[in-house]
Amino acid sequence: MIFMFKSIMYSVNAMLILELRKYMTLISSRLTTALNQKHLTQAELARKTHISRSLITYYVSGRNKPKKENNLKLAKALDVDPDWLAGADVDMTGKKIINFLENDNIYLDNQRLTLTERKEMANFARGFRVNKK
C-alpha cells in the first residue's frame, strides 16, 4: 500500500515538473519573441526595466519565472500584454484568442453548434467583415 502511494506521488510530481517545464519554456519563448520584435538585446531590456542582466538571462533561458512586479516591467518595456508574457491564452496585445472552428463549446439558443454550423458562421462573419470595408 505504501509502495503504491509513493508510486502515485512520484507520478504526480513528475507530471507537475513536466507541466512547469512547458510553462517556463512558453514564457521564455514569448520573452524571446518580444525581444526580437522590438530589436532589443537582453542588456538593453535590463537597462529599460532596471532588472539585472543575469535575471533577464534566467528569464530568457527559462531558468526562472518573472515575479509579477518584474513581469509588469518587462511587459511595459516590450509593449506587450503582461498576461501574454506570463503565458495566458491571449495575443500579444491582450485580446483573447478563440479558434472558432476548433472550439466545440460554442452554443446558440442553448444548443451546441456542429462543426458544419461553426464553419458556416465563420464564413458569414468573414463576409460581414469584408462587406464592412
Average pLDDT over residues 12-38: 85
Provide the mean pLDDT of the chain: 84
pLDDT digits 0-9 by tens, 76-132: 999 999 999 998 878 787 766 667 677 788 888 888 888 888 888 888 877 876 665
SS (H, E, C) the chain: CHHHHHHHHHHHHHHHHHHHHHHHHHHHHHHHHHHHHHCCCHHHHHHHHCCCHHHHHHHHHCCCCCCHHHHHHHHHHHCCCHHHHCCCCECCCCCECCCCCCCCCCEECCEECCHHHHHHHHHHHHHHHHHHC
Q: Which domains does the chain have, with CATH numbers?
A: 2-93 (1.10.260.40), 98-133 (no CATH)
Average pLDDT over residues 10-15: 68
